[in-house]
């Protein structure tokens, strides 16, 4: 799968059907984000796109999970009802990334009702974030293909080039970085929670290797969020990411991704993720 930032592609599903009032609310949030990022656009811009260029696709982990035949577990997802309590731009952006990974996970397993519920939740957050781009064609095709796993995955890939254009703006840099962080943490969280007790599973080794490869992405994220230290919520996330990074750096080889290490990482990522969704 060539797509590097699959979570951003979920913008296409959510970008249609926004009314004028929703656009107004989204613009208020987006204007605040513009103000927040004004003083460090240049450095943060470089770090953001460097992180994207070196990002192993979070969707790769989600797709590989499906190949392990591990059972679908809805209880691990961020409840769609939680979206109602996210009031700040930070919470909306972070959980937009999280719900995007949840939606990709659901799509792989073909759970139609959950797919619809999380699609609507993702759309709601996108409208509130002011992402009112013209992706109605993708939304229609999503609805037409929601029962076809392979078509959904191909559709997500096709949509990447369009949605990438939406996010390539310094004025949305902080929000985009938060979406990135949410998707990154959620993809690893799901993989760890589902496979932490599957040390002897041969198909699982590919997932373990993919998790190990995220060390570099985590380092890039930490570097990126250091540019947002003036923002209280982003500063707290930076602290959480730095803690996990320090622990992750003690793992020097994929062969060390054993049951003990997986459970250890699962506990730490669960803490970070809890701060994101609560």
Q: What burial letters (b/e) apply to 113-147, b meaning 16+ CB within 10 Å?
A: ebbebbbebbbbbbbbbbbbbebeebbebbeebbe
Segment 152-179, tens digit of pLDDT: 666 655 544 454 455 555 457 788 788 8
Q: Checking phi first, is residue 110 left (phi over 0); if not, alpha (psi -120 to 50) or beta? A: left
pLDDT band at 5 (very low <50, low <70, confident <90, very high): very low
Neighbours of 2 (CB within 10 A): 6
Identify the helix (H) or strand (E) that includes residue 61: helix 58-67
Query: Residue 267: pLDDT above 90?
Result: yes
pTM beyond 0.75:
yes
Residue closest to 265 by CA, chosen among 194, 182, 200? 194
Check if the beta carbon of residue 119 is closer than 8 Å to that of residue 109. Answer: no
Give the residue carrying structure tokens 């930490």. 222
CA-based nearest residue to 108, from 144, 158, 74: 74
44 — pLDDT class (breaks 50, 70, 90): low
pLDDT in tens, 98-146: 988 888 888 888 888 898 898 888 878 877 877 655 444 556 666 677 6
Rounded CA-CA distance 234/45 in Å is 16
């Amino acid at each position: 799968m060539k797509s590097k930032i699959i979570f951003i592609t979920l913008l296409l599903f959510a970008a249609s059907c926004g009314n004028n009032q929703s656009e107004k609310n989204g613009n208020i949030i987006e204007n605040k984000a513009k103000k927040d990022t004004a003083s460090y656009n240049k450095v943060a811009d470089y770090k953001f796109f460097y992180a994207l260029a070196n990002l192993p696709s979070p969707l790769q982990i989600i797709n590989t999970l499906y190949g392990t035949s591990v059972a679908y577990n809805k209880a691990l997802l961020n409840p769609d009802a939680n979206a109602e309590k996210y009031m700040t731009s930070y919470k909306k952006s972070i959980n937009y990334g999280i719900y995007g990974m949840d939606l990709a996970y659901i799509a792989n397993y073909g759970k139609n009702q959950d797919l619809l519920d999380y699609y609507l939740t993702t759309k709601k957050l996108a409208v509130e974030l002011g992402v009112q781009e013209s992706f109605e064609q993708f939304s229609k095709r999503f609805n037409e293909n929601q029962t076809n796993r392979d078509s959904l995955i191909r559709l997500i890939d096709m949509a990447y080039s369009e949605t990438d254009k939406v996010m390539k703006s310094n004025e949305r840099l902080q929000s985009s970085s938060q979406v990135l962080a949410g998707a990154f943490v959620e993809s690893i969280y799901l993989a760890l929670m589902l496979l932490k007790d599957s040390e002897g599973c041969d198909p699982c080794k590919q997932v373990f290797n993919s998790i190990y490869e995220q060390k570099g992405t985590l380092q890039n994220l930490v570097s990126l969020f250091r540019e947002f230290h003036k923002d209280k919520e982003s500063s707290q996330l930076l602290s959480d990411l730095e803690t996990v990074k320090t622990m992750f750096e003690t793992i020097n080889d994929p062969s060390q991704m054993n049951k003990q290490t997986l459970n250890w990482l699962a506990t730490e990522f669960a803490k970070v993720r809890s701060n994101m969704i609560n």
